[in-house]
Structure 1
């Protein structure tokens, strides 16, 4: 598990499309400094089809030196189908570190109504995927790290845990030294405004999901007058510090686990105790799997347990995986963990194994110590006997001995003078608990943050089965119809 649980986990069960950028283009696809052409296939996925075009946008590596070295951002778009076009609608799918080139084509059916009036546009943020994606260690090293105990019980295990964390940071520095100080959320927000300019839009129209909501809030703070129609779904709490984020997620995933257990007819307290005992047994003796040379460690088990809690429709998968683990077979939980960890069947790990840490450790300057973590562990474990210790230790290990300093304790999202921003919160969201949405709406400012609540389960509300949510968001983005602040969809 990681400090910022990735929204991309929602799509792991399906085949994600990936796209590269080609140089060819037609004359009518040139403009604003971009040359749009056919998206090429990659080694892992076919090209996304003729509807999609790709391009590369050059932006300054260091925004304080706008005439200095540049970096290329890989873009993807599908043109609006209707004649009454509003402009471009940018999507960020979370992470941090989710690839827009991979996610946009797979998410397009969910937002097909929006394509009536918008070009659907996304990109690989700096340091991600085709935009100079950072790789901090090789595939064999990543797999070897699966044996590291991320809830150390002895001084020896603790030493290995923190050494592995330090080695990860050193690997990032070796691979992407010049980039490491320039992949912050604020850097990406400035990239977005440059993209808005070259796309020819007076205002930024945007759909941000999970970490993408923090990026959207940061953009609104930096460029309030440029905000157009902006929707933030599955909202990160902008007021939570490192420990607060981890405790929020422990609380959110425990709530989701309780809901799952109740749906199977189990008492949540007893079911939680049973799963916690299973994890302790796996910690002592990792389970065999169908994959030669790989065991299901406690770390992989809790990661695999996390993934199905993103989506209520995946709960039967969790039942099957837990039943198999109780019988001593870790194969199903390992498959789920590999999906979460962006591991292909070939054994190759995508850049989302690396980039979330590089981005978040540049954003966040807090570095909780091992001693402080140990003090907080009882509180974490009280919040969640299953997830608490993992997320508690993660606060100390995630950015341990990081090569570059962080920038802030919490992001600044106040946006006085911005157009209304639609903030969508889901009461059953495990990864970004509902309370964070209300805080985001409040911190954006009076008259800016407009709250929409869905009483539902899963990570994210739009496209999750609520006609009320979908029609409200569609009316806002397509027609500019701002709902009443505080609207609730059941």
Structure 2
């Protein structure tokens, strides 16, 4: 269930699709005295994504016939024992369209999560990065524990169907007991199926993988574009390897100073703001808003729908029913991007008439469920990485004490996000810290972009990241817009700033405002 909802492009790609092989990994290989920095990658044509990555067809060539290539990089299973067992990390790339003299190097992308497959996501968005490709090879990867990179596996598809349908906002002791029992069963399954990986999926481990990737790709510096959770990964990399940072952009920025509770509370406020903006947008259109007569009426009707679903679900995607939790998940997913507000309007209209199919498809997208009923491993990986990173453990009594604060932040999403905090209770391995360390003295300028209407990583996180990186490192840019992230809004001001920086090294003036 929800902890920190940072999954960005992978979920949005699945939404667009829904609405319009054997799990790989080399765990157990012995590195012996092999220098992993000297390994040569065997690039080959990419196959179709496997179930853990989300399935689907092999990536198609880009319009200019740019071919996708995939390779597996060896990395230590345990970075504290770099000469021990190794795992395989899956990479994908498309070569630059520029000449050898114009090429800067590789630009590595992380699209967020934690738990999103970069191998699946980069091809879906690559045309949006065509300008960047004029001087960079575009490269992404499945982080350790994700997709084809020794994935964390918890429950099977049938179990996950039930898990995501359960009542995630208990109203009494009996419902609370069921939620706690189901969470423990999920966490126990993670330990039973992936015990070897659980201690080795921290963001610090992924950051060390990034530096190995940089060396294996032949780059003196790491050039990086991180979205959502990818900004946290980038910040941790900058802390560990400040003098290896090249040109880096952080977009949809995670607040690195917050613990899990503060992050969840911030998201309650963020998604409530996004819902407010959706409601205002609907009623401000010249034609009648089909889901409410006023902004408050829109929100009141949604709240009433969720209360009704708590008592009696409606038909969703056969044979499943749309529960209160699934509907909330679907609404949250649609609020990630203004492009999906029309789907939210359609889904609400249908639900008011007894048809929960569109909201359920949105929920399925959030949870990584394909049309054929198979789940990717994003939920398992998200939980494993979040719990390995985050030290606090919250029990039911604590959640009940803080519920009033969460409800004040969001009448609609407060309970949902507060109860999501129990996801790491009784987790098999301890969490590393209250929050990540991203201080990076000695690093070059990093462009940090905050979106004033971002629901999942609220705008204030960008300023917090700038301050935490340290004086002279973070350069803040503000986008006055809606949705999770700024670059993919195609706002010219934002994209000009990013292109000028990544392609020509021109650092924007601090606190530039776009929108």
* TM superposition score normalised by structure 2: 0.90
Picking from 453, 460, 464, the partner of 1:435 is 460
CA distance in 2, matches of 1:271, 1:256: 13
Displacement of 1:268: 3.5
Please give the per-residue CA displacement for 1:339-389, whole angstroms capped at 9, x wherever unaligned: 111111111001112110010000001012211111111111111111111
Q: Give SS of 1:81's match.
A: coil
Equivalenced residue count is: 479
Contact conserved, 2:336 with 2:455, CA < 8 A, in 1? yes
Displacement of 1:48: 1.3
Contact conserved, 1:139 with 1:347, CA < 8 A, in 2? yes
2:320 alignment counterpart:
294
1:117-196 alignment runs, 5 A limit: 117-196=135-214
Please give the per-residue CA displacement for 1:290-309, whole angstroms capped at 9, x wherever unaligned: x3321101110000111111
Determine if the alignment matches structure 1 residue 201 to structure 2 residue 212.
no
Q: Give SS of 2:247's match.
A: strand
Structure 2: runs of 5 or more not aligned: 26-37, 62-66, 284-292
1:276-355 alignment runs, 5 A limit: 276-289=303-316, 291-355=317-381
Change (3 A) 1:209 1:42: closer
Q: Give SS of 1:310's match.
A: coil
Displacement of 1:10: 2.3
Structure 1: runs of 5 or more not aligned: 23-30
Contact conserved, 1:427 with 1:433, CA < 8 A, in 2? yes
Contact conserved, 1:21 with 1:56, CA < 8 A, in 2? no
2:4 alignment counterpart:
4
Contact conserved, 2:110 with 2:225, CA < 8 A, in 1? yes
Contact conserved, 1:87 with 1:119, CA < 8 A, in 2? yes
Contact conserved, 1:4 with 1:96, CA < 8 A, in 2? no
Contact conserved, 2:12 with 2:365, CA < 8 A, in 1? no
Contact conserved, 1:21 with 1:54, CA < 8 A, in 2? no
Contact conserved, 2:389 with 2:431, CA < 8 A, in 1? yes
Please give the per-residue CA displacement for 1:169-198, whole angstroms capped at 9, x wherever unaligned: 111111111110000000000000000011
Displacement of 1:146: 3.2
Displacement of 1:133: 1.1
Displacement of 1:240: 1.0
Contact conserved, 2:445 with 2:472, CA < 8 A, in 1? yes
Contact conserved, 2:24 with 2:149, CA < 8 A, in 1? no
Displacement of 1:21: 9.2
Displacement of 1:49: 3.4
Contact conserved, 1:21 with 1:38, CA < 8 A, in 2? no
Contact conserved, 1:9 with 1:310, CA < 8 A, in 2? no
Q: Give SS of 1:140's match.
A: helix
1:39 alignment counterpart:
46
Q: Give SS of 2:108's match.
A: strand
Displacement of 1:40: 1.3
1:393 alignment counterpart:
419
Picking from 435, 445, 448, the partner of 2:473 is 448
2:115 alignment counterpart:
97
Contact conserved, 2:44 with 2:69, CA < 8 A, in 1? yes
Displacement of 1:465: 2.6
Determine if the alignment matches structure 1 residue 68 to structure 2 residue 84.
yes
1:27 alignment counterpart:
none
CA distance in 2, matches of 1:86, 1:15: 34
1:13 alignment counterpart:
15
Change (3 A) 1:129 1:270: same
Displacement of 1:32: 4.9
Contact conserved, 2:306 with 2:328, CA < 8 A, in 1? yes
Q: Give SS of 2:69's match.
A: strand
CA distance in 1, matches of 2:22, 2:193: 23
Q: Give SS of 1:40's match.
A: coil
CA distance in 2, matches of 1:230, 1:38: 28
Picking from 204, 211, 235, the partner of 2:253 is 235
Determine if the alignment matches structure 1 residue 273 to structure 2 residue 284.
no
Determine if the alignment matches structure 1 residue 472 to structure 2 residue 488.
no
Q: Give SS of 2:399's match.
A: helix
Change (3 A) 1:298 1:316: same
* TM superposition score normalised by structure 1: 0.95
Contact conserved, 2:15 with 2:361, CA < 8 A, in 1? no
CA distance in 1, matches of 2:165, 2:138: 41
Contact conserved, 2:49 with 2:120, CA < 8 A, in 1? no
Q: Give SS of 1:329's match.
A: coil
